[in-house]
Every structure is written in structure tokens, then in C-alpha cells.
Structure 1
């Protein structure tokens, strides 16, 4: 270990582990620049931080797409955009299908079920479908319900809160400086405004994004700092899984070491936040990486498949948590 590397980790240990104060943007960048030879020491520190400030429990979530494909936005990573030549086609689920999906998710040990729609923002039809779905799920299944429906108006935020949605996901996706390279049909600031409304309405804020979309290390550190400034309840961390037919379809996936370094850096920037393994981890990290990530700062997982890509079998993740002696967070602790 070089003197510079030793200083970076020692400072992080004292600041984050001992005092619970997240790393600054500049400090996150130092962590992202650590050599592979120090990765194990970094992951060990991130795991200590997670255990001290979040505890050993892991929150398990399943997601379902209520409305798939046909989105008018041009998010360059997303195969659900109607502007790209991707194989995803528009489809809707009905309320009984939502309830059954929530029931199956709960059977896997999950305490969180997120309803997602590929839209710029919900129209009256979608809001009515979500309200009916949330009510039916709450009547039939003992599980928390979250939503991810794009950008919201103040009235829509109020309606979702009154319906009983306890957490709302709206990702910033990437650093503010990199956002115009990723999306051109709306702005980073518009996304930020929805998050402000969600917080004011009393719902939990779930906000993360995707790494490996051509951003620099400096922009990755910028993104971590911008997320930390929101004090989100949860940060889902996705790794780009290049989708055929999208503008980012030819990008190379992140390397495993870079992905793990990013996990640890985000944990050190957000010591008290639920940091969730999300899309792309199977491609980027594989089974060994999943284990290392759970021992390197992660304390939540999405189980099963994602919106348009396959995930690890839910049973594999549940078995791994048992093997690592990481208890699944109980429902009454997440209400």
C-alpha cells in the first residue's frame, strides 16, 4: 500500500466509519482512483461502514412493469423508448396480474414491491390503474408498495401519497454534467423537481441511476455527491447492460473491479442510505461479484427479473443472503 493510498483509506475510515460523515465529491474521486491492489481493503471498509450505520439486515424488493415500452423519451440506455429500434413492444398489465406479481414477490421474502411504468409522466388512465392496483395489493398481500411512474405534478404526488404509496423511485440517472449526453427530451432539473415534491409529500425518496454510460470518473464522483445532497432513503445502483437498438447498445460493460470500486465509493458517500443492487449486476459482476458487493457496502437487492432484462433467480439471492448470514429485513421494520 502506497502512502497516498493509505492516506485515502485512513481518512475514509476516520471520517465515515467513526463519525458517519460521507465522503465529499473530491474524496469519492480519490476512492474511485484507488488501484485494484487495494480493492479488497476498500470493500472491507465499505462493509464495516454498512454494518455500523445501517446494520446487518438486507431489504429485498421485486419490481413489475405495469406499462412496458412505447415511452416518448430518449433515454439512451433504455430499450423501452419508442424512439429507438429495439425489440421491446408496448404492453399493459391488469390489476389481477399486479396482485399476483405482488403475491409471488412476497413469497420470495421481499418486503417491497415496486410498480413501474415506461412513461414521461402518468396520465389519468395510468393514475387510475395505479390507484386500483395499489388498493388491490394492499387488500391481498402484506407488502409495501412503491412506484416509479416518471415525472409528477404536485397533484399526482399528493394522490399517490394518499393512495398509500410509501416510496417513490425517480432516478437522476447520472451526474448533472453528463445528463445531456444521456437524455435530451427532458432535463436533470425536471427530475430533481419531482424528487422535491415527493419528499415534501412525506413519501420516501428512492433515487439512483446507472453507472458505465460513458461518464468519466470525475462525473461518477459528481453523481455520488449529487445523490448524497438529496439525502435519499434508497439509492438503486445499476450497471449499464447495453441494449440492442439503443444509442448505448455498443458500449462496453464496466469491468468487475470498477463496478465494485463504485459500490464501495457510493457506500462511503452515503453511509446511512439503503444501497440497492439493481440492473446489470449479473453481467458486470456475476455470482462472485454479487457476493463481494454484499460484503462491500450493499444492503438491499432487487430479486428476480428487471423490466426488460433477466436477473438472477430470486432463490439464488435469498440462498446467498442465508449463506452470508445476512437477515432479510422484516416488513414491520420497513413500514
Structure 2
């Protein structure tokens, strides 16, 4: 286990490295592929600025790094929304905010439905099932529901259980750890310098503090974000570097799927070439991390992009639908993995 992350104000304002002269992909081969040393901020930015005609070469380097330092296995995960809609926060990308005129209504699912969702997830070969709630942080009712759900799932399904319940207090962290939560997801969402353009009702540092407590409690840290929210290439590189400083066990990469009624509802979808360069760049900044395809990849990349991403640094996928948007059929992703001769990581491999 890596050490607990330090406060971001101690580290993230000084992220530029000293990039040696030379072609950035040659540097990546020697530095990341051969030695396992991550690219720094300046180097990640060079990768993001590569012309489109070098994209196939870049994806090959990122794939080679993934195979060298992570292996061929792909971790499969399913997610379920325990509590949907009505969130008091103003995350500008999210249709579950109660502050926006978006069509998502508040709803809870019951324990039998939660168990059934876990069963269906396990049938895909998934090793991870994540219980998600649209909240600033969990109250007693939500934690009680989560505890009951985890107990019921454990009685019937052999699968690792993760949670994503917003910002936590130390007491709540300890409760989740005692429940046996394997991994906790709490996304930083974007670079620290861009965060106030995305969220104003809480701070980047508050999210970081939750991640610090999660790590110290012994749970795995899952932390990523969304690309295509108006950030610059410099901020994209900043975000990759800040995640590398956090040293999460998993980084889910989402791509903005503009939701009607949200402040980001009219933003353009990220071009596929930019999205794929970002996938490769994040792999080169995080050579040993689980890098997971998450929301928005269907609208951003399409079916061909799924293959290119998995051959360009990705080594984990969320299968099926997301929280409020549709994903690819799970069978399509599983068939693709078979076609690429990439085995699904088994439950024993995650223990």
C-alpha cells in the first residue's frame, strides 16, 4: 500500500518537471516502458500536443506500458445508483443536482433490487460492484441502507463491494471500512486550477481530504474525473500529474456526455482523437494504476474507440449502463476482450 497522500497545497502548485530534449515518445519508451518512471507535467503536456498523425504510435507506446507494468488482465466492474437525484451540490456536469432543471428525479432502490443488480454484475465476470449515491455525503439513513445492502449482497454474491457516497467524515470512513468496503470512489473530477469552474458548493481540497482518510483506513482509493469540461490541455496535464501524486489504486476516466438542463449541457463532445491522446497520456503518467473506461466513452469514441482505448492504455471497464446514461451492452465489451485475447481479472487476483 502506498503512503497516505499529503495535502494538495503542499504539492500541486509545483508540478512542472525538467523534460530532457528529444522526441517525447522515444523518451516515454525509455523512461516509462523500460524503467517504469511516470511522465511529469511537461512531458504529459507534450504527449497531449502530439499531432493526430502520431496517434497510432502513441497508443502503441501506451499499450506496451500497460502490458509491461499491469499485464493483460482487464478488471470488470458494474455500478448501481442506490440513491438517484436531489443532490444539493452544483457539479456543473451532473443531471442529479437538485439545483438544475434536469429531468432526473430523486429515487431510492430497495435491498432486493440491489442484490439482484449485484448478481447480474457478477454474471458478466465482474469482480467489483460499486454502490453509488447522489449526495454531498452520507447521512445515517444512507449508511444504514448501505450496510444492509452490503450484508445482503455478501450473503448471496461473491464479489468485491465498492462505494461512492460523496465526502466523508472520519467516523463515516471508519464505518465503511468496518463494513468491509473494498474500494472507495471519490473523483477529484478535474485539475485543481479548473475546479471552481466545475463546482462551487465545495472545494477540491475537501475531496482530497476524504481520499486521504480513505487511504489511511486501509480501503483502496478510486479517483478520477471527467475530460472535456472546458479544461485546457495544460489543465489536462495538470490533472494527470495531480492524480499521480495521489497514487490511487484506480483511475476512472470519464468523458463529458452533456446533460440537458445542466450548465455544461451545451458543451461540445470531446473529439475522439483528443480523448484517445488523453487515455494514453494518463497511462504514461500512471504506469501501474488501474485505468478504467467509464462514462461518456460511447458518445465520444464509439465502438472503434473502445478497441483503440483498450489497446491504448486502458485495463479496466465499467460494463452496462452508468448512473443516468446508457452504456454499451456488457456483452459487447466482453466479446471485445475475447477478440483481443485479454482475460478478465478473476476475483482471486483482486484479493
TM-score with structure 1 setting the length: 0.98
Name the CA distance, whole Å, in 2 between partners of 1:104 and 1:8: 44
Instruction: Tell whether 2:339 aligns with 1:323.
Output: yes
Residue from 200, 205, 212 that aligns with 1:196:
212
What's the counterpart of residue 6 of structure 2?
Answer: none
Name the CA distance, whole Å, in 2 between partners of 1:310 and 1:6: 43
What's the counterpart of residue 243 of structure 1?
Answer: 259
What's the counterpart of residue 61 of structure 1?
Answer: 77
Residue from 140, 144, 154 that aligns with 2:156:
140
The structural deviation recorded for 1:109 is 1.0
What's the counterpart of residue 116 of structure 1?
Answer: 132
The structural deviation recorded for 1:5 is 10
The structural deviation recorded for 1:10 is 0.6
Name the CA distance, whole Å, in 2 between partners of 1:49 and 1:8: 14
Residues 29-108 of structure 1 aligned to structure 2 (within 5 Å): 29-108=45-124
The answer to whether the 8 Å contact 1:5/1:34 transfers is no
Name the CA distance, whole Å, in 2 between partners of 1:163 and 1:285: 37
Name the CA distance, whole Å, in 1 between partners of 2:154 and 2:72: 28
Give the paired residue count.
332
SS in 1 for 2:193: coil
The structural deviation recorded for 1:139 is 1.0
Residues 88-237 of structure 1 aligned to structure 2 (within 5 Å): 88-237=104-253
**Alignment gaps of 5+ in structure 1:** none
RMSD of aligned alpha carbons: 1.0
Residue from 288, 295, 300 that aligns with 2:304:
288
Instruction: Tell whether 2:317 aligns with 1:301.
Output: yes
Runs of 4+ aligned structure 1 residues displaced above 2 Å come to none
The structural deviation recorded for 1:64 is 0.1
| CA deviation profile, 1:177-201 (whole Å, cap 9, x unmatched) | 0000000000000000000000000
Instruction: Tell whether 2:288 aligns with 1:272.
Output: yes
Name the CA distance, whole Å, in 2 between partners of 1:218 and 1:56: 31
SS in 2 for 1:177: helix
| CA deviation profile, 1:91-135 (whole Å, cap 9, x unmatched) | 001111110000000011111000000000000000000001011
The answer to whether the 8 Å contact 1:60/1:112 transfers is yes
Name the CA distance, whole Å, in 2 between partners of 1:27 and 1:135: 46
The structural deviation recorded for 1:6 is 6.4
